[in-house]
Chains A and B, each alone.
Chain A
Amino acid sequence: MVPIDDDAAAISDTLGIRRRQLLQLIAAGTTLSLLPGMFARRASAGEAAVKGGILRVSAPFNPSSLDPITSGAGSDHMILYSIYDTLVDFEPATLQPVPGLSTAWEFETPTRLVMTLREGVTFHDGTEFNADAVKANLDRALTHPRSTAKGDLASVDSVDVVGPYQVAINTKHPDTALPLILADRSGMMASPTAFDEPDRNFDRTPVGTGPFSFTQWNDGDRIELARYDDYWDEEIPHLDGIIFRVITDLNTGLRSVIAGEADFVYRLNPQQKLVADRAGEEVVVRSSPTVANYHIVFNYGKAPLNDVRVRQAINYAVDRKAFNQAAMLGLGTPAQTLLPPDYWAHDESLNEFYPFDQDKARALLAEAGYSDGLELQYYSNADQSSQQRAEIIMEQLRQVGIRCVLTTGSNADMFQRFMVRGEGDAIMVNWTGRPDPAQGFLFVYGEQGANNPGKVPPPQDLAEAIAAAQEGVTQEERQPAFARAERAALEHALSCEVAFVPGIEVHRANVGGYEPNLLGKPKFNRLFLRPQEG
């Protein structure tokens, strides 16, 4: 019953082990019912939060937009979370759904989700939050010409206002992933008064119900948020405000924290953890498991990767442990499927499904008619660490006779050429994961999935397993379906999962109230600053 220790002296490794042990317990199914109490939201209970102070965060990306439904990058969340509340929230350590702006929800029928809303919530502009506001938000997400939420909300058919504080979401088919989908950008509620204003650039003047309201965004420089005094949860915010400074160079971002010019930096690379570890007691270094991973996306809509044997050969040829050592200093976790070990939906028996076996890889290639080797068009982002990862994978593939021809470009360029236009055969992406595993399976393997460049419909066994996972309501009901989906994806070798990325964050020792989450996207809403000594 040890809550995640938030004491300044807590060492990241200790934290990691405790978390892993807890997750194992959970996986064993022994403590599921104890969970909500065990992971009491105030993890730093025992220490009183201090009011006041401005938290300075070093953010590695300038956001694409601060409107949740036009936001186009998984790195925008860290800023959006403070401005917007989501309809559903999640437990940081387990990603279990918990009440957010919706206090309770229930599937009235398999295709009708009824949500009861929190009363007494107002948007930063004074607009009242109610069922009409939820309907306006979801309708906008489904129809806005630039909406990026359409993929996540693909199952949603219509939204009914049932009462002043009750809405019903009708879906085209059963979709029990919906509550956790609404814990993501699609469930972030923006003020209808504000986004309906003609000529208003809502991307850059966001209004939500979150603990912090937006004050300023100097593009590429900083985003400033101020505490929202009328926030519905009277316990927070503790801080007077948050300043996100856009520092795209992670080394510089880390230096700003070590020098005390910023309080928090996230999304660091393992190499930077080594630097931070030497920085002394003024900073706390955290490394925790996340659902984000490096995976090789295949275009199996065309030769040579339309042959399952070639895809399996690649899975056998990749030495995941060596990759983890070389690219991530051993801080990551070797991956087999989209879901990490110890995660509730994951089937632990699949952890060695594709062992490193070069002979088997060569045999499979020979069987597929490539005994003299084969050439693969391999794509990669052009930044230094992406190229390093590409080099490791290409060398591993070369050893079994797969020659890779490398093409590099900016993230957006690679995305458009590989995923949209269908160029190339394989690309390694750093995928940030989603709160609900079904979201992930559809994103990666669905016919319209963004990471399915061939737009090949999933094989029947996989499709059925995903559908079953969207029908089960409780985790116990859904877990076997996810296990089947994992196994099907592995048997068809639809991708090559390589390693889960650790969430590495460094903050000043006087930052309290922080709890890393399994999603790897830090939330700053409950943070506080202890007065500095001296």
Chain B
Amino acid sequence: MQNQFLRFLLWRMVQFLPVVAMATLTIFSLIQLVPGDPAATIAGEYATAENIEAIRHSLGLDRPLWEQYGIWLWNAAQGDLSNSLLSGLPVMDEVLRRLPSTLTIAVLALCIAVIVGVPLGVLAATRADTMLDRLVTGIASLGVAVPNFWLGMILVSIFALGFGWFPTTGARPISEDFWGALHHAALPAATLATGGIAEIARQLRSSLIEVLQSQYVRTLRAKGLPNYLILWKHGLRNAALTLLTVIGLVFNHMLGATVATEAVFAISGTGSMIVNAAINKDFPVVQGAVFVLVLIVIVMNLIIDLFYSLLDPRVKKG
């Protein structure tokens, strides 16, 4: 068992390397398509062509693209994510400084999404084709459709400016001020959570309906098992695999969706970092941040896989 687990972990690590290489190579190639030149940004208002060329040379931007990427990859393999082209700061330090705010929002949003989404999904599934079901489904569709930045502004104007319950902007470091951090993260997390709530409720509903209509559930009913036991012990447990998959996807999506939310709430997290860097073609920053986010996504998927094997014995054998 222990051996098997270690092999599983090792296999995951081996898979990890090509994924990261592919992800960063894709990002690198995409950034080359973005118009603009970081050297021109640095050179500023009075830039002359010679001036810009000199800066390009000093940053190594005049080298062939494969060489630029190769150098970056070689350094990254040794744990050095290079320096920002614009600020000259080490990318690793900047990512680590900004990551906690983003993670706080994303994790809190995921908790909200699960806490609200799961009961909604169960409610809709057990009362399928009633008014309540249609209401939940309707709300869920709305949750997917409403853009985050718009919802963020609406929430701010009601709960922050109107009632004054929450701050409108900023973040607190969770390591220093736990409740303060949650207080600041509440509105952005609620904004971010809507999509997740909708996704979780919808998926759980359909998979639960499927389970509840299956033949073994019919058998259980025939045996006279009470409804709540059927639902909690058999229904949810079988729908949990879908639920876990959805949760994993929702979290990964949230990490990306923080971009708009961070702008609305003026949070300097990794989302705003990637946007600014992408606009200015600061590719070491984009790649470094993506590198770390890919790492988080992979770890998240690993955790989900572990849960699978806990919930479903068949996964362990496979």
Q: Which of B49, B52, B87, B266 has the most CB of A within 10 A?
A: B266
* Chain A residues closer than 8 Å to B51, beta-carbon distance: 146
* Chain A residues closer than 8 Å to B279, beta-carbon distance: 410
Known: A258-B161, A450-B45. A218 touches B268 (CB 8 A): yes
A252 and B45 contacting across the interface, CB-CB below 8 Å: no
Known: A74-B45, A151-B46, A201-B88. A247 touches B280 (CB 8 A): no
Residue A373 interfacial (CB < 8 Å): no
Interface size range on A against B: 35 or more
* Chain A residues closer than 8 Å to B265, beta-carbon distance: 252
* Chain B residues closer than 8 Å to A533, beta-carbon distance: none
CA distance A421 to B53 in the complex (A): 12
CA distance A420 to B42 in the complex (A): 14
A246 nearest CB neighbor, chain B only: B268
Closest 4 CB pairs of A and B: A72-B44, A413-B36, A221-B268, A416-B40
Cβ contacts A60-86/B at 8 Å (1 or 0 each): 001010000001111000000000000
* Chain B residues closer than 8 Å to A74, beta-carbon distance: 45
B45 and A256 contacting across the interface, CB-CB below 8 Å: no
Of B49, B89, B170, B280, the contact of A410 (CB 8 Å cutoff): B280
Residue B153 interfacial (CB < 8 Å): yes
Known: A219-B89, A247-B266, A253-B266. A410 touches B36 (CB 8 A): yes
A416 and B52 contacting across the interface, CB-CB below 8 Å: yes
* Chain A residues closer than 8 Å to B169, beta-carbon distance: 245, 247, 252, 255-256, 259, 261-262
B36 and A204 contacting across the interface, CB-CB below 8 Å: no
Residue B272 interfacial (CB < 8 Å): yes
Interface of chain B residues 264 through 290 with chain A (CB within 8 A): 264-266, 268, 272-273, 276, 279-280
Residue B302 interfacial (CB < 8 Å): no
Interface of chain A residues 140 through 154 with chain B (CB within 8 A): 145-146, 148-152
A150 and B54 contacting across the interface, CB-CB below 8 Å: no
A413 and B266 contacting across the interface, CB-CB below 8 Å: no
CA distance A252 to B260 in the complex (A): 12
Residue B68 interfacial (CB < 8 Å): no
Residue B48 interfacial (CB < 8 Å): yes
* Chain A residues closer than 8 Å to B276, beta-carbon distance: 62, 220, 248
Shortest Cβ distance from residue A182 to the other chain B in the assembled complex, whole angstroms: 17
Residues of B that sit less than 8 Å from A by CB: 35-38, 40-49, 51-52, 54-55, 84, 86-89, 94, 97-98, 153, 156, 160-161, 164, 167-170, 263-266, 268, 272-273, 276, 279-280
A62 nearest CB neighbor, chain B only: B276
B273 and A64 contacting across the interface, CB-CB below 8 Å: no
Residue A251 interfacial (CB < 8 Å): yes
B280 and A148 contacting across the interface, CB-CB below 8 Å: no
22 contacts between A and B (CB under 8 A): A73-B45, A145-B54, A146-B42, A146-B55, A149-B46, A203-B88, A219-B84, A220-B273, A222-B268, A245-B169, A248-B263, A252-B264, A252-B265, A258-B161, A261-B170, A412-B41, A413-B36, A415-B40, A415-B45, A419-B47, A420-B48, A421-B49
A408 nearest CB neighbor, chain B only: B35
* Chain B residues closer than 8 Å to A409, beta-carbon distance: 35-36
Cβ contacts A125-151/B at 8 Å (1 or 0 each): 000000000000000000001101111
Of A248, A256, A413, A415, the contact of B47 (CB 8 Å cutoff): A415
Residue A47 interfacial (CB < 8 Å): no
CA distance A56 to B168 in the complex (A): 15
Residue A491 interfacial (CB < 8 Å): no
* Chain A residues closer than 8 Å to B94, beta-carbon distance: 219
Q: List 5 additional contacts besides A259-B164, A421-B49; criterion CB under 8 Å.
A: A62-B276, A72-B46, A148-B43, A245-B266, A255-B168
A413 and B264 contacting across the interface, CB-CB below 8 Å: no
CA distance A413 to B273 in the complex (A): 19
Cβ contacts A23-62/B at 8 Å (1 or 0 each): 0000000000000000000000000000000000010001
Shortest Cβ distance from residue B27 to the other chain A in the assembled complex, whole angstroms: 18
Q: Which of B52, B268, B276 has the most CB of A within 10 A?
A: B268
B42 and A255 contacting across the interface, CB-CB below 8 Å: no
CA distance A409 to B37 in the complex (A): 11
Residue A281 interfacial (CB < 8 Å): no
CA distance A389 to B31 in the complex (A): 28
B167 and A261 contacting across the interface, CB-CB below 8 Å: yes
A71 and B44 contacting across the interface, CB-CB below 8 Å: yes
Residue A119 interfacial (CB < 8 Å): no
Of B35, B42, B263, the contact of A252 (CB 8 Å cutoff): B263
Of A64, A152, A220, the contact of B272 (CB 8 Å cutoff): A220
Interface of chain A residues 376 through 422 with chain B (CB within 8 A): 409-410, 412-413, 415-417, 419-421
A203 nearest CB neighbor, chain B only: B88
Shortest Cβ distance from residue A179 to the other chain B in the assembled complex, whole angstroms: 20
Shortest Cβ distance from residue B275 to the other chain A in the assembled complex, whole angstroms: 9
Shortest Cβ distance from residue B147 to the other chain A in the assembled complex, whole angstroms: 15
B87 and A420 contacting across the interface, CB-CB below 8 Å: no
A449 nearest CB neighbor, chain B only: B46
* Chain B residues closer than 8 Å to A367, beta-carbon distance: none
Residue A249 interfacial (CB < 8 Å): yes
Shortest Cβ distance from residue A352 to the other chain B in the assembled complex, whole angstroms: 31
* Chain A residues closer than 8 Å to B46, beta-carbon distance: 72, 148-152, 450
Cβ contacts A512-531/B at 8 Å (1 or 0 each): 00000000000000000000
CA distance A409 to B88 in the complex (A): 24
Known: A72-B42, A221-B268, A410-B35. A249 touches B263 (CB 8 A): yes
Shortest Cβ distance from residue A522 to the other chain B in the assembled complex, whole angstroms: 19
B160 and A249 contacting across the interface, CB-CB below 8 Å: no
B265 nearest CB neighbor, chain A only: A252
B44 nearest CB neighbor, chain A only: A72
B263 and A413 contacting across the interface, CB-CB below 8 Å: no
* Chain B residues closer than 8 Å to A62, beta-carbon distance: 276
A221 nearest CB neighbor, chain B only: B268
